[in-house]
Amino acid sequence: MADEPLVLGIETSCDETGVGLVRGTTLLADVIASSVDEHARYGGVVPEIASRAHLEAMVPTIERALADAKVAAADLDAVAVTAGPGLAGALLVGVSAAKAYAYALGKPLYGVNHLASHICVDQLEHGPLPQPTMALLVSGGHSSLLLAPDITRDVRPLGATIDDAAGEAFDKVARVLGLGFPGGPAIDRLAREGDPAAVRFPRGLTGPRDAPFDFSFSGLKTAVARWVETRRAAGETVPVADVAASFQEAVTDVLTRKAIKACKAEGVDHLMIGGGVAANSRLRAMAEERCADAGIVLRVPRPGLCTDNGAMVAALGAEMVARGRTPSALALPADSSLPVTEPHIPGEDHHHTHHHAGHHH
């Protein structure tokens, strides 16, 4: 439909330079330039390297997305960009680029939340989000359960990780097993050849008195490391595939169990799963099984839309435009710890004078 907003989305919160073009809830282009190979030799993302890579990739990636979508920059209705949370220096590159394009084209700018974007991307695949949406977001830096009555202005955290996010646990266990970085895809591949019941690793925070929707993966990560060290110290071979499968089983068991518990507690019959770890095949399979048993409709975007990308930012931007939300100011800050309760950073307008509090670490 020609009257649906055409929005450019820019994502640079970590090591992917993502640019997406969306019209309403239709994906027109999704281009990613990744610097993951440049970080692999360090075993983790190096912020300075990421920022430099974003800087070099930005303009060519935007031009490729416009060409893929067969639209001109002048046709855009708005420019959306991840304003946070993420790596400060990396975010700054995307925010600066978005401001330049918005200013040059005379179009409104929307600084949006990385986590809300991960939820909104599902509209590109499965149509408008149900209201409210229950979302389980699992990525390198976040594992959270969020209830979103309105993705553009009402997102409520029900639970989050109190220590290592699931993605960090995957990276650290992969390191212990000598599988390299990033750990998620490597463990997923290897676990297919292993026995998920080989080792019963602990399920953190699933006791009756624990915080019902918070996650903890630090103890699990330590348990895996200790188990492996004990075998190695005894001169025994480590069944790497079995360890990978057993670890992955523990993570997915906790994630899916809590997500379904949250749906029941809030009376929500849909569950959306997003973020990089949502690309994990075991998590997808277990969630499908358990949701079917609980009578909950599961929505998971295809793996390429779960990991960081520009399409998700464009999707949320288009929703902001469609719902008439206030654009951001051209003085939009990059906020590395933007709270999930703020789906975007609105500029001043006549209706409200909400100032976004700066977060200083």
Give per-residue pLDDT as tens, 205-240.
887 777 899 999 999 999 999 999 999 999 999 999
Strand ranges in the chain using DSSP code E only, listed in sequence order? 6-11, 16-23, 26-34, 78-84, 109-113, 133-138, 143-150, 154-160, 270-274, 297-299
With 0-12 CB in 10 A as exposed, 13-18 as middle and 19+ as buried, what is 280?
Answer: buried
Residue closest to 320 by CA, chosen among 345, 339, 349: 345
Measured CA to CA, the distance from residue 222 to residue 255 in angstroms comes to 18
Residue 272's alpha-carbon distances to 162, 211, 263, 268, 269, in angstroms, are 22, 21, 10, 11, 10
Domain-wise residue ranges, the chain: 6-121+309-322, 130-302
Give the tens place of pLDDT for each residue, 13-63.
999 999 999 999 999 999 999 888 888 888 888 999 999 999 999 999 999
With 0-12 CB in 10 A as exposed, 13-18 as middle and 19+ as buried, what is 37?
Answer: exposed
Residue type, 355: H
The SS3 of residue 212 is coil
For the chain, the average pLDDT equals 94
Q: For strand 6-11 and strand 16-23, is the pairing parallel, antiparallel, or unpaired?
A: antiparallel
The yes-or-no verdict on residue 191 having pLDDT over 90 is yes
Same fold, 6-121+309-322 and 130-302: yes
Give the tens place of pLDDT for each residue, 242-295.
999 999 999 999 999 999 999 999 999 999 999 999 999 999 999 999 999 999
Fold that domain 130-302 belongs to in CATH? Nucleotidyltransferase; domain 5 (3.30.420)
The dihedrals phi and psi of 31, each to the nearest 5 degrees, come to -120, 135
CATH 3.40.250.10 holds for 6-121+309-322 = no
